[in-house]
Structures are given as structure tokens and as C-alpha cells.
Structure 1
Amino acid sequence: MNDAYCVNCRLNEQSTIIINKWDHHNYDVSILLHLPTNNSISYSRSTEQNPLKKISHSMAGFFSLLRRLYLSIYNWTVFFGWSQVLYHVLITLKESGHENVYNAAEKPLLFAQTAAVLEILHGLVGLVRSPVSATLPQIGSRLYLTWGILWSFPETRNHVLVTSLLISWSITEIIRYSFFGFKEAFGFAPSWLLWLRYSTFLLLYPTGISSEVGLIYIALPFIKASEKYCIRMPNKWNFSFDYFYAAIVVLGIYVPGSPHMYTYMLAQRKKALSKSKRE
């Protein structure tokens, strides 16, 4: 009886001591000790599951199912958005050239890339295990290109780098969101998809980053000439902001940031592929 402890002790009408206790399996164990009437002691045990524990397990299972359902819908929805981006890019590239690629893919691009903001929230509330410190820079830079450059400065949209950017982004995200979609919906992902998830970035990350840097650089004269998003002195906040110099700072961040992120992804690739071999 060393694995349990007494939490309640009472005497009933039949002169029987009833001891209620919890054992290490979280079961309610009732031990009935009958007072000796003829120099003998007898006892019996009855076991029933703790109702609070059952409710707790049921709630945990419900919320786990709800989480998987939500993340499945989210991942497959954004997967569809990026599939639309790639489809419109390839069709337009074939039919009318790279100058019209952005206009054809703009709506699904804005939808799919903006939806990625939820990934930061997922990390913050613990829905996923991805560290926010790794997710935030990636999503932040893409949102900046999508809204702060391409959407804000139409002069950049007909450049060939828009095509290389959208192809790199869309292929990467189609693979990534389908991978997580399989994981959440079915509990596993095919081995070939795992390999693509952790291998295609070897080519697509350099092409994507090069396109991002090139488009920011191309946008600089248009940013400076338009003075869009600039705040000039004097004003009631006694504060000034120049979007042109902010863009230069962003370009500067790419210099140390890109190699760091690439190294991080290489480490993730080695970890994920070695784990899949062991399994």
C-alpha cells in the first residue's frame, strides 16, 4: 500500500471504516475495513475512474481535434491560394510575357501572402511549434515586398524579377502548405513531400532572395520621387520618417540576414531528413 495515500476516512452505520484515496493511476480506491468482531479483519477494494480526470481528457481530445481541423483548413486554403498564383504566372508568361504577370496574379498573391500573418499568431499562442523568431523575419520581408513595394509602386510590376519572385515563392509555399496540410489532416506526410519540403529551398531561396533585393533596389528611385509614406517636419508629433531611407535599411538587413536564414534552413534540413531515415 506504499503507492497510495489516504485522503478521507469515515465510519459508516455498519461499523466499517471507509478509506478513500487516490492511487498513482488517478483512480478512486475505496478500502472497506470492517471492525473486528471475532479477532479478524477483512477489507475490500472498489475502483472507479476519477470523473474530473475523464472530463479533462475529453476536453483535451476535443481541443486537439479542433486545432487539427482548423490548421488543416488553413493550410489547404493557403495552398490553394499559392496554386492560383503559380497557375496565373505560368499561363500569363506563356500567353503575353512577364510584363503582365503581376496584374494576373495580384489577387491570389495578396490573399495568400497576407494570410501568412496568421502563422505568427499560431506561434504566439502555441498552436504550432515553429519559433516566432524564425517565422517573423520571413513573413515580414515577404509582406514588405508584397504590400510595401509591388502594391505601393506599380512602376516595379512589369520587371522580369517579379516573375522569378512569384515562381520561387509559389513553388516553395505550395510544397510547404501541402506538407503541413498532410501532417494536420492525416497525421503524416509522404516521404517524397518531406524531401521536397527540406530540399527545394537550396535553389528557390537564393532565387527568391535575389529577386526581393533586386525589386527593392529598383523601387528606390520611385520611392524617393513619390515621397509616399514619408512624414515631414513640422508636425504635432515632432517626428519625421523617410520611406526611402527605411528601404535602404531593409536592404542592409538582407546582407547578414539572408546567410543566417539559409544556414538555419540547412540545419533544419539535416535534422528533418536524418530523423526520417531513423523512422
Structure 2
Amino acid sequence: MARSAQSPLARGYLIAYNAASVGAWGWILFRLIANMLANGGDYRSNYAAFGWELTLIQTTMVLDVVHVALGLVRSSVLTTAIQIMSRIIIVWIQCQLFNAPMVVESAAFTTMILAWSVTEVVRYSYYAANLLGANLSLLTWARYTFFFILYPVGAGSEATLIYKSLPAAHAVDPKLYWFFCSLIFLYLPLFPKMYMHMIRLRRKVLSPAKATVKAGSTPLKKKKKL
């Protein structure tokens, strides 16, 4: 997510927002690990332990969409909104509204939170570092490498939770059931599209040529043949 030209006030706000987001998602990751250790690795009580905290923190990510809409951040409003809203639907409807044991006590809930929290800690740390003018190569590598595993785990877990919630959705309203069925099928074209986009972005950011330029070297020009 590229940053547009900002005033000192906007830049300071974004630094604070990203730092707070690192802390918030770091807290969720800590709560996940601590609760698993306290319960001998049992994942079924994770939602009961910190589900409400997760819901609030995930909901604040609506600000990511607002930042793009206001021009504070250069990105696609539609793409950002789709990614954020799919998560908000899960935490508010699948988890808070339905609150079915087959959803909140499933292994997919735990793998989803693990993928989300690690992803966001790395992502927001990367953004904050960029705003501060810090070029941390290890953080950049993590930002554009961890997604190879975290993105499929996160998206797969989300789709699994939506699937598990279908009986509860049907009990509320058959239209809601079909809405979530269509949402599951949307993952099929959207996942590979976003995944390949991240792969292309990784090649662009971590390309050897770019690394050489950053190091202050100038590529040698090929001599013209006589």
C-alpha cells in the first residue's frame, strides 16, 4: 500500500495509527498464544477468551478504507474494502451473531486468527517503518514473503468458517444462507487473483536490480556492438 504525499500532521497521524495497530494485533497474537499454553494447546476456548477484543480491533480496520478514500494512502478503495469487509462480516455475523460452537470453537478460527495477527503485525510495522524513513530489509522481506503461507491459511480458514456457519444462517433466513454460499464462491476467483498480485509485487520490491540501486550501485551499461 503506497503512501501519498502527506502533510506533517497526516504523516504523524499515520505513524501513530500504524504503531497502535501493531500493538493491537500483537496483543491478539499474545492472547492467542497465552490462552493456548494455559489450556494445554486446546484451541476451543480462544474465542471465549478474547473474541470481543478481536471484534473491536478488526472493526477499527475500517479506517484503512477511510485512509484510502481520503487520499492519505494510495491504494484501491474497492480492493481494500473487500478485504476488510469480509473480515468484519466474519467477526460480527459468523462469530458474534451466530456464535455457534462449530464456528467459534473450530480449529479454523484459531488458524484464521494466527494468520491475521502475524500478517497485520508485519504489515503495519512495515508501513510505520516506511513513514519513519527506516529501510529495514528483514522487515521488507517478511512483508513480501510471509504471505506465501499466511494468505492461503487465512483465506482458507475464513471460507471454512463461513461454510460451517451455513446451518445457522439458514435457520435465521434462507436468503442469508444463499448470500454466504455466494460469498464462499467469490473466494475462488478472488484468491488466485490477489495471490498472483502479491507474487508480482514481491518480484518488483525484492528484485536484485532494485536491491543494487538501493545499495548505491549503478548497473553497467552494455557496450554497443560496432
TM range (shorter): 0.7 to 0.9
Q: Is the 8 A contact 1:93 1:101 kept in 2?
A: yes
The Cα shift of 1:226 comes to 3.1
Kindly indicate whether structure 1 or structure 2 has the higher relative contact order, using CA contacts under 8 Å at least 6 residues apart.
2
Cα shift readout 1:143-198 (whole Å, capped 9, x = no counterpart): 121212112211111111111000000000000011111122x2124110000001
Amino acid at match of 2:204: K
Q: Distance in 2 between matches of 1:83 and 1:103?
A: 18
Aligned match of 1:17: none
Q: Is the 8 A contact 1:179 1:194 kept in 2?
A: yes
Q: Report the TM-score when normalising by structure 2.
A: 0.85
Q: Distance in 1 between matches of 2:128 and 2:186?
A: 32
Q: Report the TM-score when normalising by structure 1.
A: 0.70
What RMSD in Å do the two structures reach over aligned CA positions? 1.6
List alignment gaps of at least 5 residues for structure 2.
Answer: 215-226
Q: Distance in 1 between matches of 2:34 and 2:8?
A: 39
Matched, 1:126 2:59: no
Aligned match of 1:43: none
Aligned match of 1:252: 185
Q: 1:144 to 1:276 in 2, by over 3 A?
A: farther
The Cα shift of 1:276 comes to 4.1
The Cα shift of 1:112 comes to 2.0
Amino acid at match of 1:198: Y
Aligned match of 1:108: 53
Q: Distance in 2 between matches of 1:98 and 1:157?
A: 10
Q: Distance in 2 between matches of 1:268 and 1:226?
A: 42
The Cα shift of 1:265 comes to 1.0
| Equivalences for residues 144-155 of structure 1 within 5 A | 144-155=89-100
The answer to which of 142-151 and 242-251 deviates more is: 142-151
Q: Which has the higher helix share?
A: 2
Matched, 1:69 2:12: yes
Q: 1:92 to 1:277 in 2, by over 3 A?
A: farther
Aligned match of 2:139: 193
Which contiguous aligned blocks of 4+ residues in structure 1 show a shift greater than 4 angstroms? none
Q: 1:265 to 1:212 in 2, by over 3 A?
A: same
Amino acid at match of 1:157: V
Aligned match of 1:98: 43
List alignment gaps of at least 5 residues for structure 1.
Answer: 1-60, 231-241
Q: Distance in 2 between matches of 1:98 and 1:194?
A: 31
Q: 1:276 to 1:113 in 2, by over 3 A?
A: farther
Q: Which has the higher strand share?
A: 1
Tell me the SS of whatever aligns to 2:87.
Answer: helix
Matched, 1:82 2:25: yes
Counting matched residue pairs gives 204
Q: Distance in 1 between matches of 2:130 and 2:164?
A: 39
The Cα shift of 1:106 comes to 1.7
Q: Distance in 2 between matches of 1:83 and 1:108?
A: 12
Aligned match of 1:212: 158
